[in-house]
Amino acid sequence: MDFSPLIIGAMRLGKWGVNFNTNEYESFINGCLDLGLDTFDHADIYGDYTTEAEFGAVLKKSPSLRKRIKLITKCGIKMVSPNRPEHKVKSYDLSADHIIKSVEHSLVELSTDHIDLLLLHRPDYLMNPEEIAGGFTKLKSEGKALGFGVSNFSTSQFDLLHKHYPLTTNQIEVSLLQRNAFDDGTLDQCLGLGLKPMAWSPLGGGALFKTSEDEMINRIQKVGNELCDGYNCGLDQLLYAWALAHPAGIIPVLGTSNLERIGLAKAALEIKISREDWYRLWTAATGNEVP
């Protein structure tokens, strides 16, 4: 399934962020669609297990919207929350039973009959790949989830599950502040398999836009702002362009609820950063030239 080149993250839309009401959610969804961005990324835990239902209230109010959007959601984290009093300790659960029950609950919350892409939110130390594959097969056969992937999985964990069921993506943290995926084989693996990785927190959680005493952040800001003049763009757009330059075809997951910023992010799709400028930013981040 094809998703939009930028994915709209839902984590900050509710209780954990701007706390949209139903009308504001609807305006936001329509604004994203007007920009040609139709893919929304959820997780069952967002907003202490409330954001899916808030988003779903819009789809219940305006059912025709569902045909125009694609829904991603994640499961597997059991978070301690007043909304889940049975959870006594934060843990991970990728048993087939939990995955199936989580999806069925998300379907109700999101007022939909299917999830376009289900991601396993975090690896479970006790996960059994054959059991997970069985759960995926059941969900697929019942039409409750159309595709499956993972989030925050190592290359070995990805391989382990991919051998038993074909995965479509690994959603990982990628930014100039978090570069592990370039060295630990994650992006190489996606490129080799022809799977587009999704990148959460592609702007480094906003740290690169604040005054800081961190030398790495100051180096990136200095070089980044110098380059922005040449590319006629903002620092946020340059950072998106930096991630988008990788041949694996990274799809950024946007964390903003501001439609103007989302529009600027979309414009960054047209910025083609040079190889040398890409390495200027890498060098600024690491503090050393490449070996």
Active site positions, annotated: 46
What is the residue type of 61?
K
**The two three-digit tokens of residue 61, written as one number:** 């109010």
Amino acid at 96: A
| Token reading at 134 | 């069985």
Q: Which residues does residue 149 pair with via DSSP β-bridges, in sequence order?
A: 119
Q: Yes or no: say if 197 and 251 are a contact pair by the CB < 8 Å rule.
A: yes
Q: What is the DSSP string of the chain?
A: ----SSEEE-TTTSTTTT---HHHHHHHHHHHHHTT--EEE--TTHHHHTHHHHHHHHHHH-GGGGGG-EEEEEE-EE--BTTBTT--S-EE---HHHHHHHHHHHHHHTT-S-BSEEEE-S--TT--HHHHHHHHHHHHHTTSBS-EEEES--HHHHHHHHTTS----EEEE-BTTB-HHHHSSHHHHHHHHT---EEESTTGGGGGGS--S-HHHHHHHHHHHHHHHHHT--HHHHHHHHHHTSTT--EEEE----HHHHHHHHHGGG----HHHHHHHHHHHHSS---
Task: State CA 73 to chain mean position distance.
Answer: 10
